[in-house]
Amino acid sequence: MRSSLTLVGTLWAFLSLVTAVASSTSYFLPYWLFGSQLGKPVSFSTFRRCNYPVRGEGHSLIMVEECGRYSSFSAIPSLAWQMCTVVTGAGCALLLLVALAAVLGCCMEELISRMMGRCMGAAQFVGGLLISSGCALYPLGWNSPEIMQTCGNVSNQFRLGTCRLGWAYYCAGGGAAVAMLICTWLSCFAGRNPKPVVLVESIMKNTNSYAMELDHCLKT
């Protein structure tokens, strides 16, 4: 089974897959921000949360210890986090599409040419830029009441208070950086240039086919 990728292209495909999976997994997991509320640990992503308060008997607050997404898009605590959800999700989807095409290029001949590889690298740069933009937007939502309650009521934009950033935030940002810097560069050398012999054979085959069709039309 012949690949349409060079040796560098195979490395690019592997790194693209790892980067896309890491960024997408980090996007989905609610471990971007860690804090505490009512003595219980609390964690957030852009659209998911672990452990949240509800009204119990006697109107007292109790913590429900489970993870889940917000009930609707408008329920996400701040406009910045809503924008972050959309932008980061689009970036992850783009990286996954490129990674899938790159992996298929390892198994299929003449799927990815040198020019196609460079175009896919440009798409990876855009995907990484979108995820990076989402990571930059994330701190703008730290002044929402829900986050302030978790961060000791002293958090603000770009100020965490008693909270701390989680590993998923760093993983998403790191994946975006690798996609923008390393994968984009490797993609320039990923695809194989079409062989001149193959091009000549293809041209000759098409020419013969057209000649046979023309001869058939003239005879009829």
- pLDDT tens sequence across 69-121: 998 999 999 999 999 999 999 999 999 999 999 999 888 877 888 899 999 99
Residue 211 lies inside a defined structural domain of this protein: no
The pLDDT score that the predictor gives to residue 200 is 46
State the DSSP string of 39-108.
TEEEEE-SSEEEEEEEE-GGG-EEEEEEEEE-SSGGGSS-HHHHHHHHHHHHHHHHHHHHHHHHHHHTTS
Of 148, 167, 168, 149, residue with least CA distance to 159? 148
Structural domain boundaries enclosing 23: 7-195
Question: What DSSP element (H or E) covers 164?
Answer: strand 164-165
CA distance 153 to 160: 10
| Number of domains making up the chain | 1
Structure confidence by residue, pLDDT tens digits, 142-185: 999 999 999 989 999 999 989 999 999 999 999 999 999 999 99
The pLDDT score that the predictor gives to residue 208 is 58
The pLDDT score that the predictor gives to residue 197 is 43
User: Quick check: 207 pLDDT over 70?
Assistant: no
The pLDDT score that the predictor gives to residue 106 is 86
Residue 213 lies inside a defined structural domain of this protein: no
Residue 214 lies inside a defined structural domain of this protein: no
CA distance 162 to 139: 14
Mean pLDDT of 2-30: 92
Residue 208 lies inside a defined structural domain of this protein: no
Residue 21 lies inside a defined structural domain of this protein: yes
Query: CATH number, domain at 75?
Result: 1.20.140.150
List of residues 6+ apart from 116 with CB closer than 8 A: 191
User: Quick check: 3 pLDDT over 90?
Assistant: no
Of 143, 146, 139, residue with least CA distance to 52? 146
User: 64 phi and psi, to 5 degrees?
Assistant: -95, 120
Residue 200 lies inside a defined structural domain of this protein: no
List of residues 6+ apart from 175 with CB closer than 8 A: 19, 20, 22, 23, 26, 95, 128, 131
Mean pLDDT of 33-52: 92
Residue 206 lies inside a defined structural domain of this protein: no
User: Quick check: 1 pLDDT over 60?
Assistant: no
